[in-house]
Amino acid sequence: MVHVLSSRILLRPTDPERSRAFYGEQLGLAVYREFGTGAERGTVFFLGGGFLEVAGRSETPPAPAVRLWLQVDDVAAAQQELRAKGVEIVRPPVKEAWGLVEMWIADPDGTPIVLVEVPADHPIRYRPGI
């Protein structure tokens, strides 16, 4: 078995400064570290149990299959906070048939981001013996 010490998602945005502002200022992700200098510097953000690295530059947005799934405590509160920061809500919060509450937004390159709330009574929260 591979012993994973850390996990990271790497995005190469079309406009690194715009993406850094989105993830840091609008989404409010804390910076873990930065490397390099100037407009092309890389920034690594905390993502709960992993990291999001915004580094380099791409001529085209990420493939449509790339998506981010971020669990939050309260999707309704996240919706209010993000709207106040000018983030477009692609799809408002909906309780899905599988019991999770999901809201969709997108980063500046159109990468879909689902914000997920796991209700207290949802089976995904059940951990036998704990």
- Residue 52 pLDDT: 93
**What does the radius of gyration of the chain's CA atoms come to, in whole angstroms?**
16
Residue 1 has pLDDT above 90, yes or no: no
- Residue 3 pLDDT: 63
- Residue 84 pLDDT: 96
- The average confidence (pLDDT) of the chain is 91
Give the closest residue to 118 by CA, choosing from 82, 70, 86.
70
Residue 59 has pLDDT above 90, yes or no: yes
Instruction: For residues 25-52, give the mean pLDDT.
Output: 92
- Residue 42 pLDDT: 94
Contacts 24+ apart (CB under 8 A), 62-68: 62/11, 62/12, 62/109, 62/111, 66/11, 66/111, 66/112, 67/111, 67/112, 67/113, 67/114, 68/9, 68/107, 68/111, 68/112, 68/113, 68/114
**pTM, rounded to two decimals:** 0.86
